[in-house]
Amino acid sequence: MNLKELSEHLGLSQTTVSRALNDYPEVSESTRQRVKQAAAKGNYRPNMRAMSLATGKAMTIGHVIPVESSSDVVNPIFAEFVAGASRTYSQRGYELMLTIAEAKNEESIYRGIVAKRAVDGVMLHSPKRDDPRLALLDEIGLPFVVHGRVCDSNQQYNWIDMDNQAAFQQATQLLLDLGHHRIALINGQETLSFAWLRRLGYLEALHASNITEDPELMTSADLTETYGYQTTQKMLSRKSPPTAILVSSYIAALGVRRAIGQAGYRIGKDISVITHDDELSYFDNGGAVPQFTSTRSSVREAGIRAAEMLLQQIDKPSLAAQTQMVETKLTLGSSTGPCPG
């Protein structure tokens, strides 16, 4: 069923039917009703491609998520973020186009989808400290929102982020207050902004207490369970092991927990752990006393808000760049305690 058929069936012109469906004022209320009913009855939906062609709007948002070809790791927070964003898009009649691509191909992918007129805007994932995609998208003139921030840039752009630095500064401070001095940081790839900022927060707290960081207690890699396990194992086997560990993801923290248990230590007693918790639906760190003390911030909520921000920018391109900080809570669980000895 297309517009032509529908209008012939109604004995109206395509113009009128189209206008009735799109709530234009210049059509009488009675015919509008009649048209809408007939459309609903015939399950008519405008052909998206034809509509896009006519209006110039793709009604689609692109999410291109980078994967390092070496590791092939797909960050689980993407799924959670996308779950949030998808809801917003659906409500507003937009579709979500997903591309999972090797990081090195990203530029050509962006240029491609924009030349194809496939999207009205894109969401930028996993920003790096100095991310070339910012300039690229600005050059192309495609609206975008960054999930996170780019540290080294003086461009104006839309972003939504948590306060990584403050969160990790606070978490480190908590551990310091508990008497810990040897605090390890098991961090994500520090070429990425979020990890870099967390590192800064961590260092900020240490330095404020006149503690010099120990490079051997600071690591940076893809936040897998195995990574958390292996680095913790290594750190614990050194002559002066850490008494507390700060971990950048829940999944890595599970590996940390494994290593601690296996080494015969008790978590929260012998060794304290604080993790960041993105509130992934598969890992609810809940209960009366959560197992992990954590800095937590809902990635799904970020997805919802980021999508709204992007749609606003698309609706009103004249709008100034927006920024939004998402709330982060430091929640006490059973994985922290005073420094023993």
Residues interacting with DNA, by CB under 7 A? 2-4, 11-16, 18-19, 21-22, 26-29, 31, 44, 46-47, 50-51, 53-56
Instruction: Tell me which of 10, 283, 312, 326 binds a second copy, using CB under 8 A.
Output: 283
Site string for a second copy, 212-241 (x = CB under 8 A): -----------xxxx---------------
Site string for a second copy, 142-171 (x = CB under 8 A): ------------------------------
Residue 26 contacts which entry, a second copy, DNA, none (Cβ below 5-8 A, type-dependent)? DNA
- Judged by beta carbon, residue 2 or residue 191, the one nearer DNA is 2
Residue 22 contacts which entry, a second copy, DNA, none (Cβ below 5-8 A, type-dependent)? DNA
The verdict on 45 binding a second copy (CB under 8 A) reads yes
| CB contact at 8 A, 125 and 147 | yes
Nearest to 189, CA basis, from 218, 167, 217, 216: 218
Nearest to 133, CA basis, from 115, 116, 108, 99: 108
- Judged by beta carbon, residue 73 or residue 321, the one nearer a second copy is 73
Sign of CA dihedral 247, 252, 254, 260: negative
The verdict on 316 binding a second copy (CB under 8 A) reads no
Nearest to 304, CA basis, from 294, 315, 316, 312: 312
Distance CA 249, CA 80 (A): 14
- Judged by beta carbon, residue 30 or residue 210, the one nearer DNA is 30
In whole angstroms, what separates CA 189 from the centre of its chain?
Answer: 15
Site string for a second copy, 76-95 (x = CB under 8 A): x-xxx-xx--xx--x----x
The minimum distance between CB 78 and a second copy, in angstroms, equals: 6
Sign of CA dihedral 72, 76, 79, 84: negative
Residue 21 contacts which entry, a second copy, DNA, none (Cβ below 5-8 A, type-dependent)? DNA
Sign of CA dihedral 168, 273, 229, 279: negative
The verdict on 258 binding a second copy (CB under 8 A) reads yes
The verdict on 292 binding a second copy (CB under 8 A) reads no
**CB count, 10 Å around CB of 212?**
8
Distance CA 122, CA 103 (A): 16
Nearest to 242, CA basis, from 254, 231, 258: 231
The minimum distance between CB 184 and a second copy, in angstroms, equals: 21
